[in-house]
C-alpha cells in the first residue's frame, strides 16, 4: 500500500494546513531522523517566529524558523508542508532560505576551508618517550 503524503500550499478558502515541527524538519532534510530533530527542538536549537517551541508544535506556511545544527545555521521561511521525506531537490521546495542566512553559511564554510586540519600534527605512532610523557599527564 502506498502511504499518502500531505503536501499543501497556501489557499484562501481552505483552513490553514498544519504539520508537526519535528516531521517537517525531517522531511526538509535538516536532520537525519525525527528523534534528532526532536532533540534539537527540545534543546532550544530550533525557534519558530523567534520563540522556543516543543517538537509537537504545529507549524504553518509562512512561519519563520531559525535552525542550528552543529556549526550550520539556517533562517528559513516555510513555503510548503510535507510529512514525507524525499530527495534533496524536493526538500528544498519546502522552504525558502533568507539571503543573510545563505551569506553567513557560505562565509562560515569558507573560513572552515582555511582552518588547520586537526590530524595534520599527528605523525604516526607515539615514541616510547611520548608514551611516558602521556602517562605522567594522565
Q: What pLDDT digit, counting tens, does each position of 11-28 carry?
A: 455 677 899 999 999 999
Task: Please count the residues of the chain.
Answer: 138
Q: Which three cell numbers stand for residue 15?
A: 483552513
Which residues on neighbouring strands pair with residue 58, listed in sequence order? 20
Is the domain spanning 19-107 CATH 1.10.3720.10? The answer is no
Q: The whole model's pTM is what?
A: 0.73
Q: Which three cell numbers stand for residue 96?
A: 525558502
Per-residue DSSP letter, 119? G
Write out pLDDT tens, residues 79-133. 999 999 999 999 999 999 999 999 999 999 998 888 877 777 777 888 999 899 9
Residue boundaries of the structural domains of the chain: 19-107
Angle at alpha carbon of residue 57, lines to 101 and 17, rounded to 5°: 90
Strands 51-52 and 58-59: unpaired
- Return d(Cα 130, Cα 13) in angstroms, integer: 73
Contact present, 60 and 40 (Cβ < 8 Å): no
104-110 long-range CB contacts below 8 Å, 24 or more apart? 104/73, 105/72, 105/73, 105/74, 108/71, 108/72
Amino acid at each position: 500500500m502506498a502511504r499518502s503524503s500531505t503536501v499543501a500550499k497556501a489557499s484562501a478558502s481552505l483552513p490553514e494546513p498544519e504539520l508537526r515541527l519535528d516531521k517537517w524538519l525531517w522531511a526538509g532534510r535538516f536532520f537525519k531522523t525525527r528523534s534528532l530533530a526532536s532533540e534539537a527542538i527540545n534543546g532550544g536549537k530550533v525557534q519558530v517566529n523567534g520563540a522556543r517551541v516543543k517538537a509537537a508544535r504545529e507549524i504553518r506556511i509562512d512561519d519563520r524558523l531559525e535552525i542550528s545544527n552543529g556549526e550550520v545555521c539556517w533562517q528559513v521561511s516555510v513555503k510548503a508542508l510535507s510529512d514525507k521525506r524525499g530527495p534533496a531537490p524536493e526538500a528544498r521546495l519546502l522552504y525558502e532560505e533568507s539571503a543573510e542566512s545563505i551569506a553567513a553559511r557560505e562565509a562560515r564554510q569558507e573560513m572552515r576551508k582555511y582552518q588547520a586540519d586537526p590530524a595534520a600534527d599527528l605523525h604516526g605512532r607515539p615514541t616510547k618517550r611520548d608514551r611516558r610523557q602521556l602517562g605522567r599527564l594522565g
